[in-house]
């Protein structure tokens, strides 16, 4: 079991460019596992990667999503400086943009644990613990993914982090989007994650001031390392 994880910082990167990059990493691990099973390679260990980035304004629609949850047409998107991509993760529609921490774990869960529910819950827990460091209590909403504030109060529940993943042969791709200094007005153009009766928020909105996104990311990474028992390599 290889628990080394190569950390990759992509900064602000076009969504499609980063999608292609993580897809190449994902496919390379899957193909290695197939070749290993066929006895075509000797190297037993499969690599793991974790990408941190931000994206220019973009909406992505999961394979089980409903495009009617995009509330504006493509011309209006262009005027907003936003793009749109149907993609191969689970979940419905979501928004990525500057001021978010986007994390893409490209992991072979055979190196950690083969339990997708545990995987999702640990990603959520890393954000919950990070928010706790900033004095914010958060948690989960039954039947929904992601991290919520006031999740036990339907009239006040607001999502601060969205999750959407793809899994094949226990290899993961896609991940989470954690709203830090996000322009939340871009969520007005969608039904976020297909959920019409709950709102979204950001760390900036909850604390009332712009946050140091690198500081938040560093705290988040430490929680991920502890929860997954990563051994980070650069």
pLDDT in tens, 165-179: 999 999 999 999 999
Domains and CATH numbers, the chain: 4-233 (3.30.930.10)
| Whole-number Å distance between alpha carbons of 12 and 187 | 19
Query: In sequence order, what are the beta bridge partners of 4?
Result: 231
The pLDDT assigned to 74 comes to 81
What mean pLDDT do residues 219-227 have?
Answer: 98
Query: In sequence order, what are the beta bridge partners of 229?
Result: none
* pTM, to two decimals: 0.95
The pLDDT assigned to 192 comes to 79
- Residue 206 pLDDT > 90, yes or no? yes
161 is catalytic: no
The pLDDT assigned to 91 comes to 84
What mean pLDDT do residues 175-190 have?
Answer: 95
Mean pLDDT of all residues belonging to the chain:
94
| Whole-number Å distance between alpha carbons of 52 and 178 | 11
Cα separation values, 2 from 43, 47, 155, 225, Å:
12, 7, 44, 14
Token pair for 109: 């869960």
Q: Which of 18, 53, 161, 193 is catalytic?
A: 193
- Residue 109 pLDDT > 80, yes or no? yes
Token pair for 198: 């709950």
Tell me, what DSSP letter sits at residue 114?
A: S
């Amino acid at each position: 079991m290889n628990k080394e994880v190569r950390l990759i910082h992509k900064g602000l990167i076009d969504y499609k460019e980063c999608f292609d990059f993580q897809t190449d990493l994902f496919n390379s691990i899957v193909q290695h596992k197939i070749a290993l099973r066929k006895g075509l390679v000797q190297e037993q260990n499969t690599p793991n990667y974790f990408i941190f980035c931000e994206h220019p304004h973009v909406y992505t629609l999961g394979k089980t999503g409903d495009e009617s949850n995009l509330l504006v047409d493509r011309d209006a998107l262009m005027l907003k400086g936003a793009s749109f991509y149907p993609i191969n993760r689970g979940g419905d529609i979501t928004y990525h943009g500057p001021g978010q921490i986007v994390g893409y774990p490209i992991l072979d869960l055979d190196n950690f644990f083969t339990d997708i529910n545990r995987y999702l819950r640990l990603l959520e827990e890393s954000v919950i613990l990070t928010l706790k460091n900033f004095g914010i209590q958060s948690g989960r909403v039954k039947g929904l993914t992601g991290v919520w504030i006031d999740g036990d109060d339907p009239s006040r529940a607001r999502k601060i982090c969205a999750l959407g993943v793809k899994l094949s042969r226990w290899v993961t791709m896609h991940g989470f989007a954690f709203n830090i200094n996000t322009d939340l007005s871009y969520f007005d153009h969608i039904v976020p994650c297909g959920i019409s009766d709950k709102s979204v928020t950001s760390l900036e909105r909850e604390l009332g001031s712009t946050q140091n996104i690198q500081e938040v990311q560093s705290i988040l990474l430490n929680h991920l390392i502890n929860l997954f028992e990563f051994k980070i390599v650069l």
